[in-house]
Homo-oligomer: A and B are copies of this chain.
């Protein structure tokens, strides 16, 4: 049996569908529909458990009350946590989230944007991969609200919410140096995206500020799509070839976890003479013996800012054509010494 439509309600109530529509949309008062009619219609709506078809409504009004969330990988705890917070806030405003993972593949990212466009999502939240600048620009010219996060795309007038990646590694590196470390390895991923670059630059600058020469032997890039075994091999090599290393700074959370597993494997002890710092906090680091210091990103705050900026745009999108300046929000990471 097909679900009831507004037409069924109208005919049962002996009123026009217009009247029902007004009542549904809270315009009854404004349209001065009589209390009696309102009540009668509402009773019938309840009786039929009628829910307006959102698809039809979307077609008519042009908005879907849906936000497209495009991240690298929803199963990464960083993105999953953000997704959750965003979902919460969006839900309260009547928006739903549709999500997708890009796997850092610009082709897939483009497809996803197309798909979301075809589905008429009202707004986008994107952790951008390099190579989708033009698609995002396109969204912008179509005046569709967009917030990018985690990574910035340089030279674009787009709302963003990022963490000061440069400063994150800067403070971490400085801390290591100040606690006596001289040979600080840097393990990162081969993605030359803004936020990873900046993490490297912060590390480099801290070394420089403290008069330590950057040593490229103890700088390692792990391919993003490296297999577990390859990653392990590469890290083992790093430690074998460079016994002088007295600290390691990992530029991402998952690399640090891999790193800890390798250290465990080769039975290299973490102690006062050999420190580890990870980027992005995780239960693993709290629980590790010894606990691992981290650069902590303010996830909750990020999610909050993202959704605030977006809802704000969504609210104003309708009633103005004036291009406001993009919101550029840079949050500060915290170094957590453990």
Q: Which residue of B has the minimal Cβ distance to A77?
A: B77
Tell me, rounded to whole Å, the shortest Cβ–Cβ distance linking A252 to chain B.
14
Q: Is A54 an interface residue (CB 8 A)?
A: yes
Digitize A1-14: 1 where CB-to-B-CB distance is under 8 Å, 0 elsewhere: 10100000000000
Q: Which residue of B has the minimal Cβ distance to A141?
A: B1
Q: Is A284 an interface residue (CB 8 A)?
A: yes
Classify chain A: how many residues form its interface, as a range. Answer: 35 or more
Q: Is A52 an interface residue (CB 8 A)?
A: yes
Q: Which residue of B has the minimal Cβ distance to A96?
A: B98
| Interchain CB contact (< 8 A) of A51 among B75, B114, B282 | B114
Binds B, one of A39-47, A198-206, A257-265: A257-265
Binds B, one of A115-123, A170-178, A242-250: A115-123
Q: Which residues of chain B are within 8 angstroms of A74 by Cβ–Cβ distance?
A: 74, 80, 83-84, 87
Q: Which residues of chain B are within 8 angstroms of A98 by Cβ–Cβ distance?
A: 66, 96-98
**Structural contact, A51 and B87, CB atoms closer than 8 A:** no
Q: Is A283 an interface residue (CB 8 A)?
A: yes
Q: Is A55 an interface residue (CB 8 A)?
A: yes
Bound: A156/B213 CA distance, A: 68
Interface set, chain A 46-87, CB cutoff 8 A to B? 51-56, 58-59, 64, 66, 73-77, 80-81, 83-84, 87
List 12 A-B residue pairs with CB atoms under 8 Å apart, sorted by A's residue number.
A54-B119, A55-B59, A55-B120, A74-B83, A76-B80, A83-B99, A257-B283, A260-B287, A283-B284, A287-B288, A288-B288, A289-B289
Give 20 A-B pairs besides A74-B74, A74-B87, A283-B284 with Cβ atoms closer than 8 angstroms: A51-B117, A53-B59, A54-B119, A54-B120, A66-B119, A74-B80, A74-B84, A75-B81, A76-B80, A77-B77, A87-B101, A88-B101, A96-B98, A96-B119, A97-B99, A257-B283, A284-B284, A284-B287, A288-B289, A289-B289
